[in-house]
Structure formats: structure tokens, C-alpha cells
């Protein structure tokens, strides 16, 4: 099954002064918004350009209001947040990052704010609380109110490698070599710092990767293979077991573009 939609979007969540949507499977025409826009990739990178610049690849981007631009989802999925320029948070972000520029790429990615399981739930279910929590973490960090670094830089590097490497190319030996530890020590360290096993974290990442591929237009069987599952049945089993929803059910339930009006952030 393929979704057959371009673009592919999740529910569109709207709060007073802010809104958010997951967006994929699209090359937009040149357009502009009268709001400050944040774009965070959930896989690796998207492509972006303005009338005055060529195409560049980004993992995260802040865009000033009324900037004419194009976005290429680049076979990935992005979380897009829109902020009314009159809000305090939008003004703080503009003052911090957009004083003299139309765009700014902050040195963060979405995995600073959510693990693959949390992100997968936000992608699968129309749940305002999940998206609001994720959005709040991102906005609070960008407005310089908190930090997000983990205690152990080696675990950060492991997480970054897992999020950026196609699952079929990932191995325990590769992760161990990245941080110069034995495989057994890597597994023990990861559980000690994060509270979950490295195996489970990698499995959650595979499911997120496969879901991204579905949103980008792959069939269920194609997404399963690209994510490193044995076959579509294995993908189906893991999705149902961990999230209570099959891949085909996810596609069917998201055929309509839901608009969810939420409480104040």
C-alpha cells in the first residue's frame, strides 16, 4: 500500500499563537508565510532555498516571516512549527537568531528533544499533548531557557549516529567504534544513561524510519526492507506490538487532513 498523497501531512495542530504539522512527500512552489517558521527533520535532512540563495541541506532551520522560499522534503519527514510574530516566544527567537538574516540553522536536531519512541507516537496518533510537549521542549530550548545536553557525550554521539544512519547500514560494532568502547560496554553505558536498552532504542528508530518512508510514499513492503526488517510481516508485528497500530492502519487513518484546535500552549 502507498499513501498516494502529495504532500503527506499529519493532523494540523493549532494553539493560540502557534501551530504544528508533520510534513512529507512534497517539493513546494515558492511561497511565504506571515509567521516565524521552524523546520526540524525527523530523519536526516531536507532541502531549502530562497529567491536569493541556492539549494542547501538542513536538519533544522528557523525562517523569518514573509521570506519567499521553497522546501523539498527530500524523501524525509519534517516537523514544521509556525509562530505568530506577535507572541513573546516568536519575538525572542527572532531577536536571538534572525537579527540580520532571513534564515538560521540552529545546531540541534529533533532527537535532542524526543527519543524515537516518543517521536513515533507523535507521528502515529492525533494527540495534541504529545505534539505540544515536543514543541514546548524545542521552543524553550531555542529561547535559551534550558539546556538539553545529556551527561555523557558518548551517548549523544551514539544517538546521533543511530538517527542519521540508515538502519540497514547500522551495526553494534559501528557504534562501538564511534565511541572507542567494546560492544558490551556500549550496551551497558547506553542503558545506564538513558534507562532503556540499546536494542530497544535501535528497534524504535527502525520503526520511525519505516514510518517516515511510508509518509514519503513507499509501500509497506518497501518501507520494511529499507528499515532493515525481514519483511512486511515483521514490520507489521513490531508496529502492533509496540504501538498498537499496523502500518496499513496508519495510512488509512491519516487519509483525511485533520485540523485539531488545542488549548493554549
Q: For 79-89, how does the pLDDT look when each residue is reduced to its tens digit (9 = 90+)?
A: 999 999 999 99
Distance (Å, whole) CA 59 – CA 78: 9
DSSP H or E segment with residue 109: none
Q: Which of 147, 163, 188 is the last residue of a domain?
A: 147
Q: Are residues 189 and 132 in the same domain?
A: no
State the total domains in the chain. 2
Answer yes or no: is pLDDT of 147 > 50: no
Span 57-102, pLDDT tens digits: 999 999 999 999 999 999 899 999 999 999 999 999 999 999 889 9
- Percent share of the chain, pLDDT over 70: 91
Contact of 22 with 123, CB cutoff 8 Å: yes
Say which residues have a Cβ less than 8 Å from residue 49's Cβ, sequence separation at least 6: 55, 56, 69, 70
What is the mean predicted confidence (pLDDT) over 218-237? 94
- Residue 195's pLDDT is 86
pTM of the model: 0.84
Q: Is residue 214 part of a domain?
A: yes
Per-chain mean pLDDT for the chain: 88
Distance (Å, whole) CA 136 – CA 122: 14
Comparing 1 with 38, which gets the higher pLDDT?
38
Print the domain residue range for 134.
Answer: 8-147
Distance (Å, whole) CA 226 – CA 249: 19
Amino acid at each position: 500500500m502507498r499513501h498516494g498523497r502529495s504532500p503527506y501531512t499529519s493532523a494540523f495542530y493549532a494553539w493560540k499563537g502557534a501551530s504544528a504539522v508533520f510534513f512529507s512527500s512534497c517539493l513546494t512552489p515558492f511561497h511565504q508565510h506571515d509567521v516565524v517558521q521552524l523546520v526540524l527533520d525527523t530523519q536526516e535532512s531536507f532541502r531549502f532555498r530562497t529567491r536569493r540563495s541556492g539549494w542547501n541541506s538542513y536538519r533544522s532551520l528557523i525562517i523569518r516571516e514573509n521570506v519567499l522560499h521553497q522546501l523539498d522534503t527530500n524523501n524525509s519527514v519534517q516537523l514544521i512549527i509556525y509562530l505568530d510574530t506577535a507572541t513573546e516566544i516568536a519575538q525572542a527567537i527572532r531577536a536571538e537568531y534572525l537579527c540580520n538574516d532571513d534564515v538560521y540553522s540552529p545546531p540541534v536536531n529533533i532527537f535532542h528533544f524526543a527519543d524515537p519512541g516518543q517521536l513515533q507516537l507523535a507521528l502515529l496518533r492525533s494527540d495534541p499533548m504529545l505534539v505540544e510537549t515536543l514543541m514546548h521542549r524545542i521552543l524553550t530550548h531555542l529561547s535559551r531557557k534550558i539546556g538539553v545536553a545529556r551527561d555523557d557525550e558518548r551517548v549523544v554521539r551514539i544517538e546521533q549516529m543511530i538517527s542519521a544512519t540508515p538502519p540497514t547500514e547500522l551495526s553494534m560494532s559501528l557504534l562501538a567504534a564511534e565511541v572507542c568502547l567494546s560492544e558490551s560496554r556500549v550496551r551497558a553505558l547506553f542503558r545506564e544513561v538513558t534507562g532503556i536498552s540499546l536494542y530497544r532504542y535501535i528497534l524504535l528508530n527502525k520503526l520511525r524510519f519505516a514510518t517516515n518512508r511510508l509518509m514519503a510514499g513507499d509501500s509497506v513492503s518497501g518501507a520494511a526492507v529499507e528499515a532493515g526488517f525481514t519483511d512486511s510481516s515483521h514490520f507489521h508485528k513490531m508496529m502492533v506490538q509496540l504501538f498498537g497500530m499496523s502500518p496499513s492502519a496508519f495510512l488509512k487513518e491519516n487519509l483525511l487532513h485533520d485540523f485539531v484546535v488545542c488549548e493554549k500552549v
